[in-house]
Structures are given as C-alpha cells and as structure tokens.
Amino acid sequence: MEKVFDALVDAYLVDKVGISENFLSLALSKNLRENLVQLFKDKKLQKAKTGLGQEANINDRVRSDKIFWLDRTHENQHENAFFDIMDTFVLFLNQTCYTGITGYEFHYALYEKGSFYQKHFDQFRSNSSRQYTMIFYLNENWIPGDGGELCIYKDEVPENISPSNGKCIFFKSSELEHEVLLSHKPRMSITGWLRID
C-alpha cells in the first residue's frame, strides 16, 4: 500500500486535494458497497445531521444523505479490513508527515436520487478535532449525467470530482469548502475524518 499512500499524500501536498483512483481494491469496495446496500434494506441508515453534540440537528435543506457509522465492534470482516488499511495509513502519515493523528471516525453514506450536501467545511467551529477528510466512493459505472459530483472550492474556484468506484479523496478538513451536487441516482460512499483528540 505504501506506493498508493505516497501518491495520495504527494497529490495532496501539490494540489491541496489528494485523489487516488484505486485506494480500495475492487473486491473490498464491492464488499463495502454490499454492506451499505444491506444496511439500507434493513433500514439501519439514519438521516445525517449537521452540527455537533447537543447542537446537532437534521436539516434537509443543507444535506439529505443517510448514514451509518462503521465500528470494529460490528465484527464485520470487510469493515475491519477497511479499518486495517486506515490504521496503516495513519501510521504512514504520522511517520512521514508528523501529523500526530490520534484517531478516526468513518460512516457509510447513501445519497438517494435527489440528494445533495450544500457547501460546507468539515471542521466544526466549536471543535477542531477533525484534521483530514477522507472519502471513498463505492459507485460502479458512474457517468457524467448521474450528477452527484464532489465540488471542491480552492480559492473560490470550483473543481468537480466524479464519485466513481474505488476513488479516494484526501484533504484538510479546515481548509477546503466543498459540496455534493444533486445526485440523479443512488450514490454510495464512506466518508470520515482523521482526528487529533
């Protein structure tokens, strides 16, 4: 994995956004997608909130995705394989860039047809624990007309990134404002944050 990690971090250092086309293997991506589809069928996904702790609330005009937090206690082999990769990546990052990451959090996200997430920063104003954002897309055969692009603003200049299968996005949570454009079909991902607590 080290080459893949290196390429992702290099791209981040050059462009403020690291993009890796095949961070997750196709097999793991498929297994995680199947987990997410099953969670949806079992009605385990919850409307995502905005804000933190007591302040958190559902705001359909800001975001309309549904989420489920990954956790090692689920003892799901594919979630655990994902966490193993993240553990290795955090070690790599801390050793090569002295980032001092102490933990992470990741959730599955499903954007049903017609869903979006308006322009925002990922780091909360009241809590700066979230340091780096990572997003993993699980969508096979995504084409431009499907919408659902991640739009990232660098110095107000928008850049659209398609949520295609296996792709990983990496950027600093306090630095880049971004949004998820209207999706015209179900859009699946894992999103999370590397934290310092």
**Interface positions with ligand OGA (CB under 6 A):** 109, 117, 122, 135, 150, 163, 178, 180, 189, 191
**Strand duo 17-20 + 168-172: pairing:** antiparallel
Give the shortest CB-77-to-Mn ion separation in angstroms. Answer: 28
Alpha helices in 16-76 (DSSP H): 26-41
Give the shortest CB-153-to-ligand OGA separation in angstroms. Answer: 12
One of 122, 146, 149, 179 touching Mn ion (CB under 5 A): 122
Residue nearest to ligand OGA according to CB distances in the complex: 150
Give the shortest CB-93-to-ligand OGA separation in angstroms. Answer: 20
Distance CA 161, CA 173 (A): 17
The CA radius of gyration of the chain, in Å to the nearest whole number, is: 16
Q: Which is nearer to ligand OGA, 5 or 192 (CB)?
A: 192
Q: Which is nearer to Mn ion, 122 or 146 (CB)?
A: 122
Distance CA 175, CA 130 (A): 11
Q: Which is nearer to Mn ion, 142 or 171 (CB)?
A: 171
Give the shortest CB-98-to-ligand OGA separation in angstroms. Answer: 26
Q: Which is nearer to ligand OGA, 31 or 191 (CB)?
A: 191
Residues 6+ apart with CB under 8 A from 131: 99, 101, 123, 172, 173, 174, 193, 194, 195, 196
User: Could you report how far apart the first and last alpha carbons of the chain are, in Å?
Assistant: 26
Contacting positions for Mn ion (CB under 5 A): 122
